[in-house]
Chains A and B, each alone.
Chain A
Amino acid sequence: MDNPKEPTAATPAAEWPLWEIFVRSRAGLDHKHCGSLHAADPKMAIQLARDVYTRRQEGSSIWVVRSDQIVASDPGDKGMYFDPMEDKVYRHPTFYQLPDAVDHM
């Protein structure tokens, strides 16, 4: 893996790296991706995320991840990865008759 401190085309030397920000709104819920920002290191990323993304009571916890550390699926694979699911309606459990006594399924 590349040394994250080395300047690359994505992060030239004069620019701080990009961080993806995840905020959890309440205890028990999951962290949701809410945006990204530039920061020099993890501590600054957390602080700036606090100031930018939780100033209207949106959060109770913050995760930050360096954007270049995220491994993403290849957009070119979209066809073979996701299109075959279009006609597989039987994978949705919507064909069962539920007893009246079962709520909130």
Chain B
Amino acid sequence: MQASIRLERDPAVQYLLRIGDTCLILGQRLAEWCGHAPILEEDIALTNMALDLVGQARALLTHAGRIEGQGHDEDQLAFLRDERNYFNVTMVELPRGDFAFTVLRNAMVATLLKLLWERLADSNDAELAAIAGKAVKEARYHQQHAADWVVRLGDGTAESRRRTEGALKQLWLYTAEWFESDPIDEQARASGLGPRWAELREPWQAEMAAILDDATLAMPADCAFRSTGRSGLHSEHMGYILTTMQHLQRSFPGGVW
């Protein structure tokens, strides 16, 4: 059994891991659809996107490991941290739900990541800017693919609409966390590493409003609930997904393909 690594809590590292872990955990959730999507073509599409996200996570975790300076590589960071050292947004760790839940979550997260990558392409960290330049193309497609499904299902049959509305109500609660500023964000902004996520709130809401409008769905009202995944405090679902992800690396330390 491989013990956990101790993560150096550096603001720049945590800023990168918030994005990298969000990609990593959503990639893992999407991979759960492999063999289960409603049609074969969508099965391939979802797993393509899962692998895009894992690829983005690999680049970011590798880069975060270098900045951390403790010699941790992408595998150690992905598989050997304890739960509270993961900084993904809480939304991506929620169980995959039904297809409406999955495509709506994809649309919300892809819109966020697209806006983030667009800003990060101007980062004064050249490596991060290069990662962003490549990832933004993937995120644009993820957004278009997911948004199309949201429109089809929202403006579809009574059943698809009921499910999409239910997913919207549930998922919306977890978006407020994204746009809360904290010292990690402020420092990234000050150093030129990347934007405060709060700056993305307005464009994110505008793009989501357009998608929901096409889907004939009403944007839910803001609420007081705040999830805290970006600070390392996760929902009850996080432990289970980490157990699945980490099992192999913990049981067979250093195992590779």
Chain A residues numbered 43-70 whose CB sits less than 8 Å from any CB in chain B = 43-44, 47-48, 50-52, 55
Cβ B41 vs Cβ A43 within 8 A: no
Q: If the complex has contacts A40-B152, A43-B148, are A51 and B39 also in contact, measured as CB distance less than 8 A?
A: no
Cβ A55 vs Cβ B39 within 8 A: no
Decide yes or no whether B199 CB sits under 8 A from chain A. Answer: no
Contacts of B48 in A (CB 8 A): 51, 55
Chain A residues numbered 21-60 whose CB sits less than 8 Å from any CB in chain B = 37-40, 43-44, 47-48, 50-52, 55
> DSSP class of B's interface residues: helix, strand, loop or mixed?
helix
Decide yes or no whether B140 CB sits under 8 A from chain A. Answer: no
Query: Could you count the A-B residue pairs with CB atoms below 8 Å apart for me: how many are there?
Result: 26
Cβ B41 vs Cβ A38 within 8 A: yes
Cβ B41 vs Cβ A39 within 8 A: yes
Cβ B45 vs Cβ A38 within 8 A: no
Contacts of B148 in A (CB 8 A): 43-44, 47
Cβ B44 vs Cβ A47 within 8 A: no
Cβ A48 vs Cβ B42 within 8 A: yes
Decide yes or no whether B119 CB sits under 8 A from chain A. Answer: no
CA distance A47 to B44 in the complex (A): 11
Q: Interface code A66-100, partner B: CB below 8 Å = 1, 0 otherwise?
A: 00000000000000000000000000000000000
Residue of B at shortest CB range from A16?
B39
Interface residues contributed by chain A, number (CB under 8 Å): 12
Shortest CB distance B42–A (Å): 7
Contacts of A43 in B (CB 8 A): 148
CA distance A11 to B44 in the complex (A): 23
Shortest CB distance B31–A (Å): 15
Contacts of B44 in A (CB 8 A): 51-52, 55
Cβ A51 vs Cβ B152 within 8 A: no
Decide yes or no whether B145 CB sits under 8 A from chain A. Answer: yes
Cβ B152 vs Cβ A37 within 8 A: no
Shortest CB distance B55–A (Å): 13
Contacts of A51 in B (CB 8 A): 41, 44-45, 48, 145
Residue of A at shortest CB range from B141?
A50
Chain B residues numbered 21-53 whose CB sits less than 8 Å from any CB in chain A = 39, 41-42, 44-45, 48
Cβ A38 vs Cβ B39 within 8 A: yes
Shortest CB distance A58–B (Å): 13
Contacts of A47 in B (CB 8 A): 45, 144-145, 148
Chain A residues with a Cβ under 8 A of chain B = 37-40, 43-44, 47-48, 50-52, 55
4 new A-B pairs (CB below 8 Å) besides A44-B152, A52-B44?
A: A47-B148, A51-B41, A51-B48, A55-B48
* CB pairs A–B below 8 angstroms (20 shown): A37-B41, A38-B39, A39-B41, A43-B148, A44-B152, A47-B144, A47-B145, A47-B148, A48-B41, A48-B42, A48-B45, A50-B141, A51-B44, A51-B45, A51-B48, A51-B145, A52-B41, A52-B45, A55-B44, A55-B48
